[in-house]
Structure 1
């Protein structure tokens, strides 16, 4: 009986392994659908690289060191992948009639990257004095009777009120404010930024190229 059970178990495992490897081969051998692209303009790529390096060299304390990639696409496209790369289509580069406009467009995306990084860092901050509830303190509602600790909390609140802290954190993680500050630090008048916002209003309508280059997963195919 034990021999028969072992044989049946091995047979079932073999079937499962067979199904697993067939599924794995399906994923490995599945063709990747890619959109049609053309070679990016060398002139546009050189222009983006030069301006991008100029912005980053003027904003060395922004905390990012990214690369700039120009893609050949007829639609205006601008997005970033993590903290590693900023992608911009040569069609959008051509829409920027001056280097100031191109700088403002690039800063708009760099501002998003800096904001994302600052938000991620902010999530790791700990309360300088954690609120610890003592359930057996003998006080009403379990409130601690440590008057020294209450005095410390009151001093912190007086020195840096929570509303002020929240407002400062909101300002330092506002992508638009960051982009304008980066633009000014580069030595470009912030008055050009609204022009960049106007150029970007019709951008990123073609999501296929973004999903292709941004590593987005394909839609799952469910079996019955």
Structure 2
């Protein structure tokens, strides 16, 4: 992780809570998390934001943001330059679930950043936002877009054994269209020369390579420059 700002504890949450010898360490983690000094998340989930290479001046969109661990990471990257008190960039975090948006606010407000806002929309129909009320209105385009889309989660079978019993080939097929629509909308709001990262927790090609192939085929020629910076990640 850049500048060594990540630490990994090789023990599960249940053991950490129950081990008497680690009681003080557990309390330390809780207190530092509540004050915003520490954000606890899985190491693999930290990869997509790193691929975006967010800079303090970037306008960043997190399309499916809840519960907000990646969003918090994006905000930290926005504030990475200590010489800039308030960055000119902004992070816009969206989620279609209203309750999860409130959870995300609770997660991210610990960072006390003024460069952050939460919106509640269907990512496939994300409305255009304008930069000012002046005429003619200028549509907001984002320098960085994270599309961490809903997925079957079959790539998490090692930590979630129940996936072995619930998995079926139809699940990915049902999600494919939704994932492609989210990716299309992400590209529509992406600034020319910007970067979009598409990521899932699935290993199924129907949810990964097939989604990219479909959208690439549909936009052949007209959007080829946008796709130059598209990164696909299957976690």
TM-score (norm 2): 0.25
| Bigger Cα Rg | 1
Greater strand fraction, Structure 1 or Structure 2: 2
Greater helix fraction, Structure 1 or Structure 2: 1
